Amino acid sequence: MTVTGGRALVVDDSAVNRLILVRLLETLGLTVVQAENGVQALEILAAEPGEVDVVLLDVLMPELDGYETLAAMKAEDATRHIPVLIVSGVEELDSVVRCIELGATDYLPKPINASILAARINASLAAKRLHDVEVALNRTIQRQKEELSRFLSPQIAALVSSPDGEQLLAGHRREITVAFCDLRGFTAFAERADPEELMTLLSQYHRMMGEAITEHGGTLEHFAGDGVMVFFNDPIHQEDHVERAVRMAVAMREEFADLAAGWRQRGYELGFGVGIAVGYATLGRIGFDGRHDYGAIGNVTILASRLSSKATAGQILLSPRAQTMLAEVVESEPVGELMLKGLTQPVLASNVVGMR
Amino acid sequence: MMAATGGDLGFVRELVETYLADTPVQLEAMAAAVEADDAAALVRPAHTVKSSSASLGAMRLSMRARELEAAGRSGELGPADRAGLEAARSEWVAAADAINAWLDRASAR
């Protein structure tokens, strides 16, 4: 008899039977609540959600009998998992079978034998504890997922918890479009502005950027002050990844014009520049034990970043390949050959005028 | 029962007193059901008397109650069931006398 602790609900209309059961259960170390019929039992279960570990249920009762009580318990998420022991005379095996079909855990023959009671209670409490552990675990996983989706891009949070997440995180190669965005005049502004003003402005800017990224299905790789890197076609496949990147940049440029007008009135002159490139990259978990990011590594990210730093206020600079791929949908103008830091050959870049 | 409850006299006293108070109520309900020829209404009180009497060792009363429960379930009551109810009442008087005698002895100890 190893029962230690736990809370039992005894449901029986006979005062004598209740008294015997309560006494035996208390001897086993359980605390006991009592009900005279199914209606009272369901009221107790509703009033103490999660408190009752096992129910001992008589079949024949007024108001609401054992079958109806059992069915009502099994219909509710909050009570479905609580083990139910049917207390029944041996000559009523038919009703026991029906109760087990309705979801009862086991039955206790009357008159009650203390050793059988202890064995059944032990088994039921063990099952209930296992269930409780599982529920707590699921709750933790759910909470982690929610937290994760707050810190990471929604796509990456979903990837981490998906079945093929491990494989994708381990690293894969794919063609992506990378858009690098940052602000002209930000460093000078950061020197002059109050920290509060700086944070207000950055949060307006980030909110606008975040909305545009989400709307176009981009994967945010990182925010770094005024710099934002977004890529497309990973982890979710997007046929039109180049076009999506350009549409996003154009939408951002338009939104930015409104923000910049407000800031200008407060004496801050800020401009918005973007660099966009297409190419293959290795994507996956990048970092060291204790701190990893989901990142993209390849010439394409370097090219986008360098184009972004060459862009003047209001420019969206495309790599030659991006420009060629989108010639039919994007109107652009060549800006000449640019010498980019770290690249040996000059790059013929074009600025996006608008969508056709 | 004494063994199963650790020989706690206070508890056994409470138990038999509950039984002594509750059983007449159930017998009344059984009599009313037989009187009204309401077989369905006989089942539950007869069931209760059957099981509580068995728990306390009043086996003859338990057997009578069991027969009446079965009669109630059959849906039809006859003269035999009226006789069965009378027999149950006699068994109850005998059981109550025995329990009271036991209580007196236990108190005198």
Per-residue pLDDT of chain A (356 residues; tens, 9 = 90+): 566 678 999 999 888 889 889 988 998 889 999 999 889 999 999 998 788 999 999 887 777 888 899 999 989 888 888 999 998 876 777 888 888 888 888 888 887 888 888 899 988 988 888 888 888 888 888 887 777 777 677 777 777 777 777 777 888 899 999 999 999 888 888 888 888 888 888 889 989 998 999 899 998 888 777 889 999 998 888 999 999 999 999 999 999 999 999 888 888 889 999 999 999 999 988 878 777 778 888 899 999 999 999 999 999 999 999 999 999 999 999 998 888 888 888 899 999 999 98
Residue A64: per-residue pLDDT: 84
Cβ contact B51–A23 (<8 Å): no
Token digits of residue B65? 């109650």
Contact A20 B15 (CB under 8 A): yes
* Count of other CB atoms within 10 angstroms of residue A311: 25
Whole-number CA gyration radius for chain A: 33
* pLDDT value of position A294: 82
8-state DSSP, A237? -
Instruction: Answer whether A24 sits within 8 Å of B4, measured CB to CB.
Output: yes
CA of A90: which chain B residue's CA is closest? Answer: B51
Does the pLDDT value for residue B22 go beyond 70? yes
Helix (H) or strand (E) holding A205: helix A195-216
| Run of H or E residues at A165 | helix A165-170
Nearest to A67 by CA among A88, A50, A90: A88
What pLDDT, on the 0 to 100 scale, is given for residue B6?
A: 53
- What CA–CA distance (Å, rounded) separates A219 from A226? 17
**Predicted pLDDT at A290:** 76
Q: CA A154, A157, A163, A165 torsion: positive or negative? A: positive
Q: B60 — contact with chain A (CB < 8 Å)?
A: no
* Residues paired with A351 in a beta bridge: A317, A333
Of B38, B19, B36, B34, the residue nearest B92 (C-alpha): B19
DSSP letter (8 states) at residue A218? P
SS3 A13: coil
Contact (CB, 8 A) for A325 and A276: no
Q: What does pTM read for this prediction?
A: 0.60
d(CA A24, CA A30): 9
Cβ contacts of A121-126, under 8 Å, gap ≥ 24 = A121/A3, A121/A6, A121/A8, A121/A25, A121/A28, A121/A30, A121/A54, A121/A85, A122/A1, A122/A2, A122/A3, A124/A53, A124/A54, A124/A83, A124/A85, A125/A3, A125/A6, A125/A53, A125/A54, A125/A83
Instruction: Verify whether the Cβ–Cβ distance A20 to B44 is below 8 Å.
Output: no
pLDDT for residue A278: 97
The values of phi and psi at residue A277, to 5°, are -140, 155
Which of B43, B44, B55 lies nearest to residue A20, judging by beta carbons?
B55
Max Cα-Cα span within chain A: 98
Nearby residues of A221 by Cβ (< 8 Å), 6 or more positions away: A153, A229, A230, A231, A293, A294, A295, A296
- Quote the pLDDT of residue A109: 84
- Residue A296 forms beta bridges with which residues? A283
User: Are B32 and B43 within 8 A, CB to CB?
Assistant: no
Q: Measuring CA to CA, which residue among A275, A331, A337, A272 is closest to residue A301?
A: A275
User: What does the angle CA B83 – CA B89 – CA B90 come to, to the nearest 5 degrees?
Assistant: 90
Q: Tell me if B34 sits within 8 A of B28, measured CB to CB.
A: no
CA distance A230 to A209: 10
How far is the C-alpha of A299 from the C-alpha of A66, rounded, in Å? 71
ipTM given for this complex: 0.78
Give the CA angle between residues B45, B66, B104 to the nearest 5°: 75
Judge residue A63's burial from the number of C-beta atoms within 10 Å of its C-beta, 0-12 exposed, 13-18 middle, 19 or more buried: middle
Cβ of residue A19 closer than 8 Å to a chain B Cβ: yes
B56 contacts A16? CB cut-off 8 A: yes
Whether the predicted pLDDT of B13 surpasses 90? no
Q: Which residues contact A66 (CB under 8 A, 6 or more apart)?
A: A11, A38, A57, A58, A59, A60, A86, A95, A99
Q: For residue A203, what are its two tokens?
A: 């949060």
A174: three-class secondary structure by DSSP: strand
Mutate which: A14, A24, A59, vs B, most B CBs within 10 A: A14
* B28 has a pLDDT exceeding 90: yes
pLDDT band at B93; cut points 50, 70, 90? very high
Chain B contact probe: residue of A11, A13, A16 with most B CBs at under 10 A: A16
